[in-house]
Amino acid sequence: MKTETLTCDRCGKSATTGEEKDKLGLGNIDLGFRTEYFYPSQTTAVYADHAEWHKQWCRACRKELGILEEELRKQPDAPVPTLEDMVREIVRSEVPLANYH
């Protein structure tokens, strides 16, 4: 009989049973970049991975760093400033108040 053990790559917590795995809540963390290479004579692209970092972190580690998906979805989106708001902010930062009497 095989036993699958899931382990957080950051803190080392592990889980073997279904309940423990649900509680651990591993999630993928991917950092890095990709470079695409196109060959002029062909229409296909070749993808080459460079400096990519793939880890699986538990729910507690992701929450500690503020990157837990459930928490991010709960946060309201920041309102988009209007053009007038942006102009006011630029004027306030560029024109000193001493010029106004």
Q: Is the pLDDT of residue 12 over 90?
A: yes
Q: Is the pLDDT of residue 100 over 70?
A: no
Residue 28 β-bridge partners: 56
In a domain, 43, yes or no: yes
User: According to the model, what pLDDT value does residue 96 have?
Assistant: 67
In a domain, 28, yes or no: yes
In a domain, 30, yes or no: yes
Report the greatest alpha carbon distance in the chain. 84
In a domain, 56, yes or no: yes
User: According to the model, what pLDDT value does residue 8 have?
Assistant: 94
User: According to the model, what pLDDT value does residue 70 have?
Assistant: 84
Tell me the Cα Rg of the chain: 24
Q: Model pTM?
A: 0.55
In a domain, 40, yes or no: yes
Q: Quote the number of domains for the chain.
A: 1
The predicted model gives 2-17 an average pLDDT of: 93
Give the structural domain span for 64.
6-96
Tokens read off for 43: 């229409």
In a domain, 86, yes or no: yes
pLDDT tens for 37-95 read 566 655 555 555 555 678 899 999 999 988 888 888 887 776 777 888 888 888 887 77
In a domain, 1, yes or no: no
In a domain, 101, yes or no: no
